[in-house]
Chains A and B, each alone.
Chain A
Amino acid sequence: MTDESNPSSRVSRRQFLRWAGATAVAGALAASGLDLLHPLGTEAAFRSVRRLSDAPPTQFDREVASLCEMCVWRCGLRAKVKDERIYKLEGNPFHPHSRGMLCPRGQAGIATAYDPDRLKYPLIRSGPRGSGKWRRLSWNEALDYVAAQMLAIKNQYGAEAMIFSTTHNLVQTQFENMLHAFGTPNYGTQRSLCYNSMITANLMTFGLEEPGRDYSQARYIIYTGRNVLDSISNSESQDAMSAIARGAKVVVLEPRFTKTAAKATEWLPIKPGTDLAFHLALIQVIIEQELYDADFVQEYTVGFAALREATQSYTPEWAAGKCEIPAETIRRIAIEFAQAAPQAFAHPNWRTSNFLNSFQTERAIACLNALVGSWGRPGSLQPVGGEEGAGLGSIPQPAYPRTAAARLDGVPWKYPLVPLKLGVFQELRDNIITGQPYQPHGWFVYRQNPAQSLPDRTKTAEAMSKLDFIVTIDVSMNDTAWFSDVVLPEASYLERYDPLAVVDGTVFIRQPAIAPLYESKPGLWIFKELGQRLGLGDYFQYKDEEDYLRQQLAPLDITLEELKAKGHYRLPTSAAEGDKAFVFNTPTGKIELASQTLANSGFSAVPVWEEPVSNAPGAFFLLSGKVAQHTQCATHNNKLLHERMPSNPLWLNTVPAAERGIRDGDEVWVESPAGKVKTVAYVTEKIRPDCVFMTFGFGHVSKALVTSYGQGISDSSLHLSFTDPVSGSQALSQTFVTVTKA
């Protein structure tokens, strides 16, 4: 048994694994700990108390220009503040990502800041992990304790025994600073669950991570599972809608009739896993009929002959048998696309963690664009890039210690081509369990929720149970925090400074609209304070957050006060820019239709067909994806968003539903080899009969999330882990489930 009063003691594994099966979680809220989370008077309304007939205010004490963080798109916002309360968030017209508009999540941001379930104080558990029993600590006590635990692990097992993980954010530079200064190579990010295959394929082809898109003059767009009108990236969603309204032809490959499909010119309900066949056939037709841009191919690409040879047999007739799309449709689209080019692009997509062949799919899409010369021209893909933070001053720091230990996530010793900054998160998790090549002991989680985002959460629970110490820093008590030993409350994005952001040559600031609520603190402060206690103070040479920003602004002709008032600052254009559009950062300096790098690692140099797994009779592809009203697993406790979408029913086609006697709204059991959960069916025409779909982020097990606790189900209770050997991408669409009436 465990010692319930000592948080550093290990929880028995059986006890800890109980939460992993969603159906096993039930019962009343644990008494003591939750009282601490919800003390009296925390029903902090995001609404005012006004006289009945008073109109909402139009005069405010201040309007603060800042940046949204309800997703990673980071739109500019204006916060309207009166009497130290935020009344309304609106888009900043000067920011290229918002253009004066916020999406539903951005609009709902105040309900994240004023969420009564927010973390308020540093907490240390006073019962077993997941028991919900917590004791309140002062920041001093909490930081001292966390530093002592981390140093104890470092001294006993080496720095590599600490894992650090986070998700894309503006404080990432300081997060990485701490990780490197601490000396561990073990860096977990969400990327392998998201876009590894897309980024790796573009690096291999164009030498950059993600090409931009010029919608303004595009005449033909192909989306391959990118649901751009529902999975909102504010400015891109605006652009896509405007292109459609203007009359651009839009083809959507998607097993589900998404909102993007509903607006598209043509929806192709392709069989999951076969997008690769479709794109290979487009390439085959375009080469065979000589519809490619011969001058462009000649000047800017290498490997055309190898690509032609490899794709010769991928005729539309061949692809039709794979994709369940008629051959004449595929041939027609190939011709239309090539004719519209270069004002045409096949979108590189975003979350591409679908099948083990998704890397090949992304490679085929990249080559398709290159063949028709969709690059750096109006209406085509665009060379974009440049580092975040370029042009800003940097904060002085010593060199990092050398790290000799291998990375637990297999990069590069098992996954030679996966970029270090992407990593293979699911492999990291699995190697915590196996203890190979060595056993880690601690996990520092910053603004991330791996307990829910990683597939197969039984395994994630098992991995967490192997660790002696877990600390989570977040705004809310997410599922990972709930099973941590220490939880530190970060100030919400509306209450803190973050490092400056540069977008399209303009500097933008995230600054507090109101002071941090409760005892929450900004990430920049937390990293500095913790760094000092870890003996790494030299790596955090800023007095406070404002000083950090002042150092960033030092080379520029603007003061912090001016930037705070204005919200943005246009960087002087550097004279040395020049035209880099057609300089490719690949080994050959050209677009690599055939890649020697891939061949050297034993992979095919050109895109080739890889047969995806298919479903057994009666089993469904389990598909998952986003909705406009929520972001990953981070927004479901926001009362305004929860009200719009409180749960995630399972999309099921009418035909298989009728066969199983399931009607809309019925309870159903969904079962995969990873687990069995009960949910509600949404019976619809809008999905292929061999697929079911659910949006992710629901089914929280943290009882501290009172609004969303236990609502809906988590895809991580069903998904299995599969890893693409080239890009390290997880394959999220190749778990099969059965569905029965409950």
Chain B
Amino acid sequence: MDHPNTSPAKTRWVFVMEPERCIDCEACMISCSVENEAPLGKHRNWIVKIDKGIYPNLSTTFLPENCHHCSNPPCERVCPTGATYRREDGLVLVDFDKCIGCKYCMMACPYDARFVNEEKKAVDKCTFCVHRLDAGLPPACVETCIGHARHFGNINDPESEVAKLLAKHPYYRLYEEAGSEPAIYYIYSNRVIE
């Protein structure tokens, strides 16, 4: 495999999404909200809906999304207090106690993945469910994805589901031109959606 997140010896957690399998049910959003206690009205993950065409020639695509845990995270660079930091295994996290709420990171994020959590008085976002990961569990959104559109794993382990999917299918990442090296990979649809 030839992509920038590869560094064979290390664990690198990534998402692989199959938009073709996303049915926009939002189970992932509610599962995440409950697991991570996001305030009502704020979400760590979301579904981008793209409608095209004029009746009756229509298409709709659903893109599941959350923080891309970039390898070169613009949010981390602009954080004045070091509240946003990057872990060895690629996770980009926020230390709520260090966050002063300046929102620079929110402006810097190419994916609009961050929000102000009024209850925590800090900027919040997807953690790849680090607490579950550390306990050996898959992220809450992945576990309950009834479309089987969300996959999660270590890209550097060739036996992982994500590595296998990426080896088999062409894929893309969102706003790659921003240079942030995002860790969410989207599998191209194998059907023609005009």
Contacts and interface: CB of A to CB of B under 8 A. Distances in A.
Contacts, number: 137
B146 A237 contact: yes
Contacts of A628: 23-27
A529 B122 CA distance: 52
B59 interface: yes
Nearest to A640: B30
- Among B27, B35, B36, B97, find the residue whose CB has the most chain A CB atoms closer than 10 A: B27
Contact of A56 (B25, B56, B131, B145): B131
B20 A643 contact: no
Contact of B20 (A91, A108, A245, A641): A245
A101 B143 contact: yes
Nearest to A89: B34
A420 B134 CA distance: 55
Interface stretch (A2-10, A44-52, A466-474): A44-52
B131 A269 contact: no
Contacts of B77: none
A685 B26 contact: no
B34 A110 contact: yes
A248 to B, nearest CB: 12
Given A102-B144, A110-B34, A242-B148, A643 B40 contact: yes
A46 B137 CA distance: 22
A267 interface: yes
B60 interface: yes
B23 A229 contact: yes
Interface in A219-247: 229-230, 232, 234, 237-238, 241-242, 245
Given A52-B96, A55-B130, A104 B23 contact: no
Q: How large is the interface on A (under 10, 10 to 19, 20 to 34, 35 or more residues)?
A: 35 or more
Band of interface residues on B:
35 or more
Nearest to B56: A269
B58 to A, nearest CB: 5
Contact of A689 (B27, B55, B95): B55
Interface in B1-39: 18, 20-21, 23-27, 29-31, 33-37
A654 to B, nearest CB: 7
A447 interface: no
B144 A90 contact: yes
B50 to A, nearest CB: 10
Nearest to B193: A262
Given A52-B96, A53-B96, A644 B29 contact: yes
Contact of B26 (A46, A100, A110, A629): A629
B51 interface: yes
A257 B58 contact: yes
Contact of A88 (B35, B120, B130): B35
Contacts of B18: 245
B121 interface: yes
A58 B135 contact: yes
Interface in B171-190: none
B56 A238 contact: no
Contacts of A262: 58-60
Interface in A603-656: 628-629, 639-641, 643-644, 653-655
B132 interface: yes
Contact of B143 (A100, A245, A685, A688): A100
Interface string A675-691: 00000000011111100
Nearest to A241: B147
Contacts of B137: 58
Nearest to A642: B40
A38 interface: no
Contact of A46 (B20, B34, B132, B143): B34
A167 interface: no
Given A103-B27, A104-B30, A644-B26, A267 B56 contact: yes
30 contacts: A52-B121, A53-B96, A53-B97, A55-B131, A56-B37, A57-B131, A58-B132, A100-B143, A102-B31, A102-B144, A103-B25, A103-B146, A104-B27, A110-B34, A229-B23, A230-B24, A237-B146, A259-B60, A262-B58, A267-B58, A628-B26, A629-B26, A639-B40, A640-B30, A640-B33, A640-B40, A641-B30, A655-B55, A686-B51, A686-B58
Interface of A: 46-48, 50, 52-53, 55-58, 87-91, 100-104, 106-108, 110, 229-230, 232, 234, 237-238, 241-242, 245, 257, 259, 262-263, 267, 269, 628-629, 639-641, 643-644, 653-655, 684-689
Given A237-B147, A641-B30, 8 more contacts: A102-B31, A245-B20, A245-B148, A257-B58, A263-B23, A267-B58, A639-B40, A644-B29
Q: Which 3 A-B pairs have the closest CB atoms?
A: A55-B131, A58-B135, A262-B60
